[in-house]
């Protein structure tokens, strides 16, 4: 299927690795030019070069912290009028509800709620004026079913979900579609770090921690960044113009719900 977005420009934040990289790669595969971003320059440049080699697209790499105003300024300076925005940032640390301080909440809200909102506020007016745009926010399955140790994520992402529910319906008539992609367990550095935390906390091996987690997934495995990227690219395509304000779960069936 031709997604009809060849030659467009996308900003994909937090994208040197993992799910962000999966989205950037899938868009590049559709002929979309990219601004990619991460804090560490070396892996970011490596990803940028790999994408340039694999696909004949332009890739601009911006080493910056997307959770800061300065970082977002640098990212948007590389492409002020993107057709597509994919928002992503690192997830908050695991912990216990009894331990989180106000500062912990502010950090999580900054990274996983206020950062994607600020990016949307910056690019939506241009998209609406041009009559076409796609925004995909990478959130989490924790939006549908809370994850006890990730209360900071549960809270911040719920706020972003509310913003998208209201805003997506205010911009849709201008040809701009905003949706959220909710990952369950995917094979990335993030899930490896979470497994390591469980292994330490429960005194079990890393392999046991992973096996216990995967036993809960009906698909019997973790998702792959390329599968995640393929859904992201579809949501950014010409065919997704009637999908508005949806929260699409990619979790191998992990959230046990009828709807």
3-state secondary structure of 255: coil
Closer Cβ to ligand NAP, 71 or 133, answer by number: 71
Exactly one of 10, 59, 61, 67 binds ligand NAP (CB under 6 A); that residue is 67
Minimum distance from residue 108 beta carbon to ligand NAP (Å): 10
DSSP assignment letter at 220: S
Q: Is 189 in the site for ligand NAP (CB under 6 A)?
A: yes
Joined tokens for residue 229: 């990227």
Find all residues with CB under 8 Å of 222, minimum gap 6, and list them: 185, 186, 187, 191, 214, 252
Closer Cβ to ligand NAP, 90 or 176, answer by number: 90
Q: Is 191 in the site for ligand NAP (CB under 6 A)?
A: yes
Q: Which stretch binds ligand NAP (CB under 6 A): 1-9, 17-25, 79-87, 165-173?
A: 17-25
- Residue 116 burial (CB count, 10 A): 28
Query: CA 20 to CA 97: how far, in whole Å?
Result: 28
Query: CA 85 to CA 242: how far, in whole Å?
Result: 17
In the region spanning residues 88 to 117, those forming contacts with ligand NAP, defined by CB under 6 A, are 88-91
Closer Cβ to ligand NAP, 63 or 171, answer by number: 63
User: Is the dihedral angle over the CA atoms 230, 231, 234, 235 positive or is it negative?
Assistant: negative
Number of C-alpha atoms within 13 angstroms, CB side, residue 191?
Answer: 22
Q: Is 155 in the site for ligand NAP (CB under 6 A)?
A: no
Exactly one of 33, 87, 137, 140 binds ligand NAP (CB under 6 A); that residue is 140
- Binding interface with ligand NAP (CB under 6 A): 14-20, 37-40, 65-67, 88-91, 138, 140-141, 183, 185-186, 188-191
């Amino acid at each position: 299927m031709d997604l009809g977005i060849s030659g467009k420009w996308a900003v994909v934040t937090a994208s040197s690795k993992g799910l962000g990289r999966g989205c950037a790669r899938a868009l590049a595969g559709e002929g979309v030019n990219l601004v990619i971003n991460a804090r560490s320059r070396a892996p970011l440049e490596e990803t940028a070069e790999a994408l340039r080699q694999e696909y004949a697209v332009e890739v601009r790499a911006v080493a910056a912290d997307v959770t800061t105003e300065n970082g977002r300024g640098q990212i948007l300076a590389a492409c002020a009028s993107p057709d597509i925005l994919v928002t992503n940032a690192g997830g908050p640390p695991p912990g216990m509800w009894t331990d989180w301080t106000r500062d912990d909440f502010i950090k999580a809200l900054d990274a996983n709620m206020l950062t994607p909102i600020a990016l949307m506020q910056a690019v939506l007016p241009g998209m609406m004026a041009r009559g076409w745009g796609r925004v995909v926010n990478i959130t989490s399955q924790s939006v549908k079913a809370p994850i006890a140790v990730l209360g900071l994520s549960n809270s911040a992402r719920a706020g972003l979900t509310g913003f998208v529910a209201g805003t997506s319906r205010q911009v849709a008539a201008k040809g701009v579609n905003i949706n959220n992609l909710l990952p369950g367990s995917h094979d990335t550095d993030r899930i490896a770090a979470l497994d390591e935390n469980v292994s330490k906390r429960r005194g079990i091996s890393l392999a046991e921690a992973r096996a216990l987690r995967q036993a809960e997934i009906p698909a019997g495995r973790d998702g792959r960044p390329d599968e995640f990227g393929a859904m992201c690219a579809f949501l950014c395509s010409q065919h997704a113009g009637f999908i508005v304000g949806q929260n699409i779960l990619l979790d191998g069936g992990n959230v046990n719900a009828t709807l």
